[in-house]
Amino acid sequence: MKNTIFELQDIWYSYLSKFPALCGIDLRIEQGEKIALVGANGTGKTTLLQLLDGLIFPDKGIIKAFGTRLNEEFFNDHVSARSFRSRVGFVFQNPDVQLFCPTVKEDIVFGPLQLGLSRQEAGKRLNDICEQLNIGHLIERSPHQLSVGEKRKVAIATTLAISSEVMILDEPTAGLDPKTTRQIIDIILQANKKGSTIITATHDLHIIEEIADKIYCLGSNRKITRSGSSRELLKDRVFLEENNLVHVHSHAHRDAVHTHEHEHIDHHH
Amino acid sequence: MGALSFFKESIYAEECASRSGYLQSLDARIKVLIIFLMVLCVMLSKDIYAIFSLYLFCLLLSVSSKINILFFLKRTWVFIPLFSLFIALPAIFSIITPGEEIFGFGAAGFRLSITRQGLMSAGIFLIRVLTSVSFVILLTLTTRNTELLQALRIFKVPQLFVMTTGMCYRYIYLFVEIIENTYLAIKSRVGILLPHKKGRYIVAWNIGSLWQRSYYLNHAVYTAMLSRGYTGEPKALHEFKASVLDWLSLLAVLILITLVLYLGDTGI
């Protein structure tokens, strides 16, 4: 029997107590699962991920992680906070937010050092991650000297360096070329193979089948409108169109104009 | 464009710092200490020849560190020493520094003369500024900014300050990039020529917009830090390792400083 990692019961969240972002979310995520959160812009995907990482707290409802309720009191206790942070890693949508240190090396060891690892152990993790992701040549560079793809790889490396049991990724392939997208998918799959639970918010329907076994779709009512296996949901084109995940468009091939569905391959915010 | 030259400068400085020269091979902490001691020696020395010999030593260090000497001279002579020259200029005249006259001339019924003492004090001031500036620029050219920041820890600068400064340094590039892109976006829509009033309006709007972005980024970065276990007590990876060369260099500099100060005082 699998362990439950996250359990959300009737979660409500609003910004400035005025602008609703999530309205009654129920969700259960088991250990080792690959989950994708999909939905149009502004349906609360990022908010939900931040709630799962304990960065914000719900107005109403209960979030449990590893069987314990997540709230401010939980994070005020250093031992609990450290234990949670060393088990859950978050890859932010904007790598410039995630990479805040002057060099890549300092960014990768930041997490392990804050979580109490010795300098030797942090250095060892740095070497392992660099070898695993093939980013050894980047470690002395400053984040501003990296390409978008390199930034994303390093951002994932900063999370993997914590040895997370759970990886939460917010739009990990947005704005990337096909080759780098492939590399990112491989990194995610490799982490899952090693036992990490993967939770990804994405618009990129091309990658979903690989990085997720299960999809949760957030609708404009800021609720989970549907959930199910990736294969099953991706086949339902009417549902995808209703949720702004595909749209029908016309374009020309030489003299012939034809109409077909168009997927949201790539989105920037 | 200013933003572009900022990038070029920083890329060149990084390139200099990664060359395999003498100063680049030293431990950043020892290097900071050596330069600090040299600047202190320049400040304490009263003899112009002693200070000049220290300047020559600085040039020797720059050559041994594979820094192009013409580039180094251009970099160190511009601005600060040049301004110092203008500041020191009045001191050469007898009305400021009386003494033994070397050259005199009359102007508008008023007699001005240049004195030996005046020339000497202005010369000492100028060479002192030049030498100090040269040593500091040599340090920044041969050390990566990130290492320089970490080396500040030897002066007991708190880790929080070092970390915050490092983050500021990292995000300056992001903001410069944003400014550059905003400038290009404006240029693409309105062209280069703008009425002054409109130009000022755009600059003010840009400042406001950048402030808003930095405010948002500030919050986002803090959550990213929290997510990786930050609790208010920063910890950093220090990888400094002082070798025999570092200690020998420090010893040599201490001997040189003692000699310069002793010989300068005894007037040999």
More confident residue, A269 or B246: B246
SS3 content of chain A, % helix, strand, coil (to 5): 40, 30, 30
Q: Mean pLDDT across the stretch B65-78?
A: 87
Residue B128 has pLDDT above 70, yes or no: yes
Nearest CA-CA partner of A51 in A40, A37, A39: A37
Q: Do A53 and B225 touch (CB under 8 A)?
A: no
User: Hey, is the C-beta of B166 within 8 angstroms of any chain A C-beta?
Assistant: yes
Residue A236 has pLDDT above 90, yes or no: no
A94 CB neighbours in chain B (<8 A) are 220
Given pLDDT bands bounded at 50, 70 and 90, which one contains residue B267?
low
Given this model, what pLDDT does residue A267 score?
41
Given pLDDT bands bounded at 50, 70 and 90, which one contains residue B260?
confident
Residue B177 has pLDDT above 70, yes or no: yes
A119 CB neighbours in chain B (<8 A) are 237-238
Residue B75 has pLDDT above 80, yes or no: yes
Residue B168 has pLDDT above 90, yes or no: no
Given this model, what pLDDT does residue B115 score?
84
Nearest residue of B to residue A119, measured between CA atoms: B237
Express each pLDDT in A45-93 by its tens digit.
999 999 999 999 999 999 999 999 999 999 999 899 999 999 999 999 9
Express each pLDDT in B208-229 by its tens digit.
988 998 888 888 999 999 999 9
What order do you get walking across the sheet with A4-15 strand by strand? A19-30, A4-15, A60-65, A68-69
Express each pLDDT in A143-174 by its tens digit.
988 998 999 999 999 999 997 799 999 999 88
Select from A105, A117, A144, A166 the residue whose CB has the most chain B CBs within 10 Å, as the one to mutate to test that interface: A144
Q: Give the gap in angstroms from C-alpha B11 to the nearest C-alpha of chain A.
A: 9
Share above pLDDT 70 across residues of chain A, in percent, rounded to a whole number: 90
The vertex-B138 CA angle with B137 and B139, nearest 5°, equals: 90
Q: Which residues contact B144 (CB under 8 A, 6 or more apart)?
A: A140, B14, B17, B18, B28
Q: Is B207 exposed, middle or buried (0-12, 13-18, 19+ CB in 10 A)?
A: exposed
Given this model, what pLDDT does residue A82 score?
92
Measured between alpha carbons, how far apart are the two ends of chain A, in Å? 39
What does pLDDT average to over chain B?
84
Given pLDDT bands bounded at 50, 70 and 90, which one contains residue A253?
low
Q: Out of B145, B149, B170, name the one closest to residue A100 (CB).
A: B170
Residue A112 has pLDDT above 80, yes or no: yes
ipTM of the complex: 0.84
Q: Which two tokens mark A86? A: 């060393």
Q: Do A86 and B229 touch (CB under 8 A)?
A: yes
Q: Out of A53, A94, A119, name the one closest to residue B227 (CB).
A: A53
Given this model, what pLDDT does residue A257 score?
61
Q: Do B231 and A142 touch (CB under 8 A)?
A: no
User: Hey, is the C-beta of B237 within 8 angstroms of any chain A C-beta?
Assistant: yes
Specify the range with the lowest mean pLDDT, choosing from A173-182, A205-214, B79-88, B238-247. B79-88
Given this model, what pLDDT does residue A251 score?
57
User: Hey, is the C-beta of A143 within 8 angstroms of any chain B C-beta?
Assistant: yes
Specify the range with the lowest mean pLDDT, choosing from A87-91, A95-99, B146-150. B146-150
Please count the other Cβ atoms lying within 10 Å of the Cβ belonging to residue B258.
Answer: 11
